């Protein structure tokens, strides 16, 4: 179902057109299919319309209502929600170590249980994590990592952090431009900010709807052009880092696996081919969509991006 309402983009002066309506019932069904378990309607508060900016490509939900405490209490207790590691954590550690950052101060916004801070603290002089979850802060402190239960906008202005990191937080936030502005208030004049998010639309989304990359979980969906617009609106320069790129055959198999078997069901190549032969016309359409997606955007294979912001000199 589509919507034609127009909105002003959240990060530039472009016009964003509505392109999809996600009803509350559909979101619950999609989450139920994803996790293979019943999902109460109380988990989702409202319907959402998705909009895409003509100018920078940012996609965002209307209303800009993040998931409720009921939603996050439910989803954070599902199996595998919190990863044990992220490729961008190690990439950040490598970058910081290459810049001889001993003695630098580092702040992580949305620090979770402190896994990244535990990895990076030997490369810098001091670290601090902030998170809105008291449970996450307790886990940080149990690791011996300094942490505070707070939102970044509630911190006293510091302007002394050499590095500020925030991994997979921006896409959950209703006002990304204000969030970046609040982060900048904590940054030293020559400091660096690292954000990471999914790089949307991801390759497999050509044939499979990912409910976790849509509201109420993700309120915004980012492209490289959207990040450039966000950086420009704050007078920042921007650089991008990417994980190892998948081969196209592997990426196509993964996309079809997600469509036919879901996230958690294992499959073999023989079983995938058998499933495709049951509906060959549909399978051919899926392959054509994936081929067009690959031709339209070579960055689609990465799935995730690490973004470095710094003030222009």
Q: Which residues contact 4 (CB under 8 A, 6 or more apart)?
A: 17, 18
Residues 153 and 232 in one domain: yes
Model pLDDT for residues 136-185, shown as the tens digit of each residue? 899 999 999 999 999 999 999 888 999 999 999 999 999 999 999 999 99
pLDDT at 4: 59
Q: Is residue 67 part of a domain?
A: yes
CATH number at residue 191: 3.40.50.150
| Mean pLDDT of the region 57-85 | 91
Model pLDDT for residues 7-20, shown as the tens digit of each residue? 999 999 999 999 99
Residues 179 and 285 in one domain: no
Residues 253 and 178 in one domain: no
Q: String of b and e for 55-83 (b: at least 16 CB within 10 Å)?
A: ebbbbbbbebebbeeebbebbeeeeeeee
Q: Is residue 195 part of a domain?
A: yes
Residues 64 and 18 in one domain: yes
Choosing from 75, 99, 123, the residue where a domain stops is 75
Q: Is residue 82 part of a domain?
A: no
> What percent of the chain has pLDDT above 70?
98
Choosing from 53, 75, 97, the residue where a domain stops is 75
Q: Does residue 2 carry a pLDDT above 60?
A: no
CA nearest 256: which of 185, 205, 308, 189? 205
| Mean pLDDT of the region 62-80 | 90
Residues 47 and 172 in one domain: no
User: Cis bond leading into 201, ω under 30°?
Assistant: yes
| Mean pLDDT of the region 260-276 | 88
Choosing from 44, 75, 106, the residue where a domain stops is 75
d(CA 108, CA 41): 33
| Mean pLDDT of the region 66-89 | 89
Residues 196 and 293 in one domain: no
d(CA 265, CA 312): 47
pLDDT at 82: 84
Q: Does residue 135 carry a pLDDT above 90?
A: no
d(CA 219, CA 293): 23
Model pLDDT for residues 208-230, shown as the tens digit of each residue? 999 999 999 999 999 999 999 99
Residues 161 and 122 in one domain: yes
Residues 235 and 280 in one domain: no
> What percent of the chain has pLDDT above 90?
79
Instruction: Give the confidence band of 194 by pLDDT, cuts at 50, 70, 90.
Output: very high
Q: Does residue 3 carry a pLDDT above 60?
A: no
Residues 54 and 99 in one domain: no
Range of the domain at 29: 6-75
Query: In total, how many domains does the chain have?
Result: 3
Residues 134 and 267 in one domain: no
Kindly report the average pLDDT of the chain as a whole number: 93
Residues 293 and 159 in one domain: no
Q: Is residue 292 part of a domain?
A: yes
| Mean pLDDT of the region 258-272 | 88
Nearest 10 degrees: CA dihedral of 259, 63, 293, 281?
40
Pick the range with the lowest mean pLDDT from 26-30, 37-41, 285-289: 37-41
| Mean pLDDT of the region 71-97 | 91
Q: Is residue 17 part of a domain?
A: yes
Residues 193 and 234 in one domain: yes
Other Cβ atoms less than 10 A from the Cβ of 25: the count is 11
Pick the range with the lowest mean pLDDT from 124-133, 141-150, 188-197, 300-309: 300-309
Q: Is residue 100 part of a domain?
A: yes
Q: Is residue 81 part of a domain?
A: no
Q: Is residue 1 part of a domain?
A: no
């Amino acid at each position: 179902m589509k919507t034609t309402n127009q909105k002003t983009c959240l990060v530039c002066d472009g016009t964003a057109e509505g392109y999809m309506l996600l009803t509350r019932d559909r979101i619950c069904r999609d989450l139920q299919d994803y996790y293979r378990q019943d999902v109460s309607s109380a988990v989702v508060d409202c319907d959402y319309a998705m909009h895409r900016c003509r100018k920078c490509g940012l996609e965002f939900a209307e209303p800009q209502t993040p998931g409720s405490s009921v939603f996050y209490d439910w989803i954070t207790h599902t199996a595998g929600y919190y990863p044990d590691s992220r490729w961008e954590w190690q990439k950040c550690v490598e970058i910081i170590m290459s810049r001889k950052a001993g003695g630098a101060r580092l702040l992580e916004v949305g620090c979770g249980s402190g896994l990244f801070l535990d990895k990076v603290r030997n490369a810098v002089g001091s670290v601090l994590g902030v998170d809105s979850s008291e449970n996450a802060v307790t886990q940080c402190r149990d690791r011996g990592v300094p942490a505070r239960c707070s939102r970044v906008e509630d911190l006293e202005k510091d302007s002394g952090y050499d590095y500020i990191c925030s991994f997979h937080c921006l896409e959950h936030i209703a006002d990304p431009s204000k969030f970046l502005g609040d982060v900048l208030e904590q940054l030293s004049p020559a400091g660096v900010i690292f954000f990471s998010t999914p790089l949307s639309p991801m390759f497999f989304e050509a044939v499979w709807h990912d409910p976790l990359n849509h509201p109420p979980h993700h309120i915004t969906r980012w492209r490289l052009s959207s990040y450039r617009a966000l950086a420009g609106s704050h007078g920042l320069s921007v650089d991008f880092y990417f994980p190892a790129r998948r081969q196209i055959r592997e990426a196509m198999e993964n996309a079809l696996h997600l469509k036919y078997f879901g996230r958690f069901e294992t499959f073999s190549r023989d079983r995938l081919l058998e499933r495709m032969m049951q509906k060959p016309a549909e399978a051919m359409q899926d392959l054509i969509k994936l081929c067009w997606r690959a031709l339209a955007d070579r960055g689609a294979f990465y799935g995730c991006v690490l973004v470095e912001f710094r003030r222009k000199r």
